Chains A and B, each alone.
Chain A
Amino acid sequence: MEFLHPPNRRSMLQNAGFGFGLIALQAMLGQSRLLGMPDPVQEDNSKQRNSKQGHHPAKAKSIIFLFMEGGPSHIDLFDPKPRLEQLAGQSLPPSFKPIITPMGEYNAPLMPSKRTWKQHGHCGTWVSDWLPHTAQHVDDLAVIRSCWGNGLNHSNGVCQMNTGSTLGGRPSLGSWVTYGLGTENESLPGFVVIEDDDGKVINGPRNWSAGFMPATYQGTALHSNGDPIRFLSPPSPIDPARQDSKRKLIDALNRKHQAGRSIDSELDARIRSYELAYKMQSQAPEAVDLSQESHSTMQLYGIDEKETSVFGRNCLFARRLVERGVRFVQLYHGSGSRWDAHSGIEKNHSTLCRSSDRPVAGLLTDLKQRGLLDSTLVIWGGEFGRTPMSEKGDGRDHNSNGFTMWMAGGGIRGGQTIGSTDEIGLHAVEDRLHVHDLHATILHLIGLNHWDLVYSHQGRPERATQNEGRVCTKLLA
């Protein structure tokens, strides 16, 4: 390519603003207009870009999914079973359909909960003494006691709770939501996942993978230490001016290459991807910078206490991300199946409830006082619940046949308890909600119809709920 007006060599790298400004390029190329070149002025207005209309109006704009990984015991937290007191020590009566338990203690005795139970709030929702802080919010919660799924083990269960299928390969719910609604802030990922400090979630990044959808919709892991997003900055600190020069050189080479190739919008998208990466470099650290938060906010989340500081910080990140337009935030608590109390459930659940209860309650309080709860759907739960039968004397095995989750905020009718399990908490019986039903309802709450949300994969119309699922209208406000 011939330049009619060769650029002044100094001015090119110095004066070009980020994106190697349009004016500089015009001068450089001697053209009055560059086909297909983005207007840098418009680009500053990246908020709202790529945000799509849902299928119907919805209150919820964002979702925070608090994933208690490993399977919290519903019968020790939200679903009291007095009948277990009477059956304590006996094996499962024949009137109950037996289940397959992964640990295979087939004749293990039934074990009642050791908790103290109380009704809370105006609505009188039952919560055990393990979750005193959450209990104060029951008037905002819809507690669903009749969830069920197909995952016998963690891997199946976590995979299904994320993707609808017990087997890998399908997009995560967060991917479906970002596919359906786009993002409200292009400078941050639309679907963010935060794991516990050192835990690694079962199945790894597969849980937030976009499956057969483009990687654009996959979840991005956010870290609270170091780089919040992988490769956000170079491995060893580099002089910012040097980074800047490198970036500008890439931009100049790419723009020069693009001229004459304007029919390929992908080349334009690649140039934009560098601009977005640059914006992300400033926005992501800001999103996880808690120095701007007040002391009382930090206290609210329990960041001032050793036991609650990790999850408290993560919950606070979640609020900050939602405030900044992130569509779907998933927080794992107990990453690496730490809720998996096969033995010693007393110690296990005491510790985990202690470390999560106050942060979760803090998040609800904070969202509410900032007016964000109405537009944020908060979901709490694990991949399954636990058996009323004991395991190893003082633990409980996996139970995906009946377990509890709760939802609060955007579009949810709080202060109610939906569905029930049988009298020992083994099987969901009334208002049974399969994982597909939960997903259909979550999608509905954020404005997406699970029948209309279709992605064509290898010619087949694929849906988040695999052509199943019903919206649970009882949950809706």
Chain B
Amino acid sequence: MSQRLNFFALPLAIWATSLLGYYQPSSAQEPDASTKFFEEHIRPILVQHCIACHGPDKSESTLRLDLPDRFQTGGDSGPVIDEKQLENSLLLQAVRHEGLEMPPNKKLSEQQIQAIETWVRSGAPWPKYVKEITAGSDQDSISQADRDYWFFQPLSEPVIPASTFSNPIDAFVSDKLHSQGLNLGERADDSTLVRRLYLDLVGVPPTAADLQSYLELPAVDAHGTPRYEQLVDKLLADARYGQRWGRYWLDLVRFAESDGFKQDDFRPSAYRYRDYVVQALNDDIAYSQFITEQLAGDELDPNSDRMNAATGYLRHWIYEYNQRDVRSHWDNILNDVTDVTGEVFLGLGFSCARCHDHKFDPLLQKDYYRLQAFFAPMEPRYDIVAQSDSVALRQEAFDAWSQCAEPIRSELESLQQETRLQVIENAIEKFPPDVRPALRKSPSQRPPNERSIAVLAYLQIENELKGIDYAKKLKGDPLERWKVLKKQYDELKKGMPKEPEISLTVRDIGTQAPEVRIPGKPSAGPIEPEALSVLADRWPVAPKSPDTPNPSSSTGRRLALARWISDPSNPLAWRVIVNRIWQHHFGRGLVSNASDFGRLGEPPTHPELLDFLALQFIEQGGRFKALHRSIVTSETYRQSSYPEQRSQGHAIDPENRLLWRYNPRRLDAEQIRDSILLVSGSLDDRIGGPSDAADSNRRSVYQRVMRNSPNTMLATFDAPDASVSIARRNTTTTSLQSLFLTNSPWMIRKSESYAKKLVAQHDSPRARIQTMFRESLLREPTEDEYLWISDLVEASSPSDPHGPWADACQALWNTSEFLYIE
């Protein structure tokens, strides 16, 4: 039977025109209109009127209408579709009650019969993904309106509104503005734009010299490229780009370098994930790859350092070192990974569905555990050694040392063995009784459901082993021998090279996954990994990827999930990511709740533009830099913050949702700190590597992130606390911020060191004032500003020649002009 027809060639299809508004068959991967027709019209009829008698429970006349292949073969009376003469199909006779009368008691409605006719005339195509039709509860709890919700529709190629703009972004934005009687505002001036671009793309303002050299460039170079575009390319190629934009991603994945909870232990190798993110952005890897490496890097290549760093994504959960209830702890960890993944990659707030079907969105409780089932087989690992060159050298030295220490160590261990086993047994007894049996088994004997729980328990047991004082536990000869060996060993240890670094990563426990069940609902049965119900029909997750590189050691589930999320036909991830990028350029997304596109949020202000950007992003291979370039070269982005139409714009659209101006915004915490470091001349621009424990002069992204003791300055300016995924930071204006900027030792130190340099460089007060303004505010001081600062200097005590200059430059760093992008 021909399954695919040109749907739009059908004559007089009553529904076809209504579909045009939603769909254009633009790519082969999207569900086409025939699929949509089947889902909207045919499936409901089959479910409600046919399969009770011609389905799994009864198959009268041996006819099954729930299975596509059985539908095709037909029943006792032969095939229901006459492929040669569609109009004579048995199915049509039956529903028209011409001869056969089906359904027997109640004829279908005229509309339903027309739908069947239309379907049969097109060859009665079943969407390929439909393997069976069930009358399950999913169909009841997910309504047609749910299925029609805009976010679950395929990306559609919008018509670009006619305009004089060459960048389609401007065409979309100005079109909306025109409908409200507004226009795109005029461009901001050059220095405003250059400052905006620097802060936005690399996180710090240009230096006075950067600005100067830009202004001296010819408007267009020899290749005809405008200088603004040259600057865009230069900044996107700058290593600071990844430091800036990586930070947004780190907010989303609640990256931190400590456990949280009471102990808040440091995670020495967590920085590898941060470096991975920064590098991935600088390398401009495809978004699909970025997704896949983080969710399933270990399944792609377990021996790759880079992949192990990327799967650090799965290790940012908080960990409590002394939680005896390891079962709940592991549940919390899986919940956390599920919640974050749903928000970050799918733009859906899954956490509501953990305990009940989502009240507003078609997210069933089952869907929550379907998503969780992808992660259920993972096991946190504490033994995977990082492989980078520098670490590998360490490994060699360490191996050599270990070999040398081996005889002593093994004898020590045999002396300690009995005590150790006793301590382990005692430690096991401290865990809840239901956990203990698994702890007494070797890892490979543990049932899949107990594997990760045991890992958590053994971390605690290890702690107890570390605390054993063998000198007190051993007696007699063994004690004497132990003392001798221990002394030798301690001596040897003084020459021990640094231990190799361990990757913060995960592996699957093996090929067999633990069973996932909905807590408190045993009757729901085991939950298999699958797409959320509202999408599973249209875009099911492909079963275990046939090309899973390590099928013998992994379930391949996470890779399957990653491939599903990043499939270009799955609209969720693409809309979500382009909206995030847009949000960070403009301060607000086209969808304002960047991590929840469900009904609780607001619909997109520019739905066509959103789809346009997503499709363009896919076409460009999911490369972020191309997307940035397209956004920041638009006139929309280059608008002034205070255009001439501002009173009109403010009256019509006070929140600037239509983008009649560029939203001015306060610098975020890192921008403030990094800008002051740069301007004061103290910035240490080393890239990557372990974070700095104490407040250093490196960029903020390299400051250690401890959950319980956040960096005071960053926290004061709204940096998140790394507990949950943050899509958009709060921006507050508090007096504590003012106190920090005026009185903190950090600010005083920075301004004093700057003032010393300033005073040494320039003798005349006027030159000092001018330099200070140029370097901090990228402009010349006005006459009154000269006067104000001269006043301040003259009024100060002559015994402190730097003090007033430090005060003055500190004042400049306190100004709104410095603290805002416009």
Contacts and interface: CB of A to CB of B under 8 A. Distances in A.
A216 B732 contact: yes
B593 A216 contact: no
Given A249-B808, A280-B739, A273 B734 contact: yes
B788 A209 contact: no
Contacts of A206: 707-708, 721, 723
Given A155-B262, A156-B320, A263-B650, A231 B814 contact: no
B595 interface: yes
Contact of B812 (A100, A155, A189, A253): A253
Contacts of A97: none
B600 interface: yes
B795 to A, nearest CB: 6
A191 B747 CA distance: 26
Interface string B714-737: 011010010110110011111111
B192 interface: no
Contacts of A100: 324-325, 432
B784 interface: yes
Contact of B596 (A239, A260, A272, A459): A459
A274 interface: yes
Contacts of A233: 743
A472 B456 CA distance: 38
Interface in A1-17: 1, 3, 6-7, 9-10, 12-13
A452 B482 CA distance: 67
B312 interface: no
Contacts of B433: 106
Contacts of A226: none
B349 A253 contact: no
A352 interface: no
A1 B782 contact: yes
B352 interface: yes
B811 A249 contact: yes
Contacts of A9: 787-788, 790-791
B593 A104 contact: no
B129 interface: no
Please indicate which of the listed interface residues A155, A156, A256 has the most CB atoms of chain B within 10 Å of its own CB: A155
B817 interface: yes
Interface stretch (A139-147, A240-248, A309-317): A240-248
Contacts of A28: 784
B705 interface: no
B57 interface: no
B788 A231 contact: no
Contacts of B647: 263
Please indicate which of the listed interface residues B431, B600, B707, B723 has the most CB atoms of chain A within 10 Å of its own CB: B723
B709 A257 contact: no
B403 interface: no
Interface string A94-111: 000000111111100000
A231 to B, nearest CB: 4
B814 A250 contact: yes
Contact of B788 (A247, A249, A461): A249
A156 B262 CA distance: 8
B797 interface: yes
A227 to B, nearest CB: 9
Contact of A106 (B261, B429, B811): B429
Interface in B228-273: 260-262, 264
Contact of B262 (A12, A203, A211, A260): A203
A242 B264 CA distance: 42
B743 A234 contact: yes
Nearest to B649: A263
B349 A263 contact: no
Contacts of B527: none
B572 to A, nearest CB: 15
A87 interface: no
A269 interface: yes
Contact of B261 (A12, A102, A155, A257): A155
Contacts of B598: 459
A246 B430 contact: no
Contacts of A273: 733-735, 737-738
Interface residues of B, number: 91
Contact of A458 (B260, B595, B748, B812): B595
A269 B797 CA distance: 33
B796 interface: yes
Interface in B613-646: 641-642, 646
B663 to A, nearest CB: 9
A146 B698 CA distance: 52
Please indicate which of the listed interface residues B332, B641, B737, B810 has the most CB atoms of chain A within 10 Å of its own CB: B737
A264 interface: yes
Given A1-B782, A458-B349, A253 B596 contact: no
B744 interface: yes
Given A9-B787, A168-B260, A152 B323 contact: yes
B545 to A, nearest CB: 31
A232 interface: yes
A458 B343 contact: yes
B263 to A, nearest CB: 8
A212 B812 CA distance: 31
Given A167-B723, A202-B262, A206-B707, A214 B732 contact: yes
B743 A104 contact: no
B708 to A, nearest CB: 4
A152 B739 contact: no
Contacts of B352: 460
A209 B814 CA distance: 25
A325 B541 CA distance: 57
A271 B819 CA distance: 12
Nearest to B598: A459
B78 interface: no
Contacts of A266: 666, 731, 733
B816 interface: yes
B745 interface: yes
B811 A246 contact: yes
Given A206-B721, A209-B721, A276-B735, A246 B783 contact: no
Contacts of B264: 204
B510 to A, nearest CB: 29
Interface in B494-550: none
B765 to A, nearest CB: 13
A245 B795 contact: yes
A269 B820 CA distance: 13
Given A250-B815, A459-B598, A269 B733 contact: yes
B743 A270 contact: no
Contacts of B731: 214, 266
A419 B88 CA distance: 77
Given A102-B324, A213-B730, A250-B811, A270 B816 contact: yes
A254 B814 CA distance: 9
Given A154-B262, A274-B738, A245 B792 contact: yes
Contacts of B791: 9-10, 12-13, 245
Nearest to B724: A169
Contacts of A115: none
A93 interface: no
A119 B736 CA distance: 48
A305 B817 CA distance: 53
Nearest to B723: A169
B84 to A, nearest CB: 54
Interface in B281-303: none
Given A249-B807, A257-B817, 17 more contacts: A12-B791, A104-B429, A106-B433, A153-B322, A205-B710, A206-B721, A216-B734, A242-B796, A246-B808, A250-B742, A250-B815, A258-B816, A263-B650, A266-B731, A270-B733, A281-B739, A458-B593
Question: Can you list the 4 inter-chain pairs with the closest CB atoms, starting with the nearest?
Answer: A104-B430, A169-B723, A459-B601, A459-B593
22 contacts: A12-B791, A100-B324, A167-B723, A168-B723, A211-B723, A214-B731, A215-B736, A216-B732, A231-B740, A231-B743, A234-B742, A235-B743, A235-B744, A242-B796, A257-B815, A257-B817, A261-B641, A263-B647, A267-B816, A267-B820, A458-B596, A459-B598
